[in-house]
Each structure stands twice: as C-alpha cells, then as structure tokens.
C-alpha cells in the first residue's frame, strides 16, 4: 500500500509541474529562437500552454535575435 501511495503522489506532483524545454544553439540568434517559436506555437494550438515552460538560449552571447526572424516565424506559423 505504501508503494501505491508513493506512486500516486509522484504522479500528481508530475502533473502539477510543467515540463521544461530549452532549445540551445551557438548564438541564440536564429536556430534556437526559431525552434522555440515553432514548439511554442504547436503547444499553444493544442491548448497545452500550462504544461510547458519553453525557452531558448545560446552558448555564446553574440547579439540579440533579429526582428525579421520573429516576423518570419509569425508569418509562417500564425493563422493570419
């Protein structure tokens, strides 16, 4: 019985915590932000926003993501 209670407690704790997803590339300029945007869109379209923490990062801080990257991803993946 103790094992069943422990398993049930672990399952409910796992359901309460969002799953963290981090996309990483060298500079966080194009690839990882693009992957983040695509995944975030797919998650949102399925109504699973509260189940995930989504972010992107780079291993070297070159510079910020170009605004055209966000626009291109919005254009491709939005329902305009």
Catalytic residue IDs: 25, 31
Assigned token pair, 40 = 């975030």
For the chain, the C-alpha Rg in angstroms (whole number) is 17
Residue 32 near residue 24 (C-beta atoms within 8 A): yes
Residue 18 near residue 10 (C-beta atoms within 8 A): no
């Amino acid at each position: 019985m103790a094992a069943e209670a422990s398993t049930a407690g672990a399952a409910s704790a796992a359901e309460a915590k969002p799953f963290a997803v981090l996309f990483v590339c060298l500079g966080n300029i194009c690839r990882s932000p693009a992957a983040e945007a695509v995944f975030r869109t797919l998650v949102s379209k399925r109504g699973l926003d509260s189940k995930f923490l989504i972010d992107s990062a780079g291993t070297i801080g070159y510079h910020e993501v170009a605004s055209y990257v966000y626009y291109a991803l919005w254009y491709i993946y939005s329902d305009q």
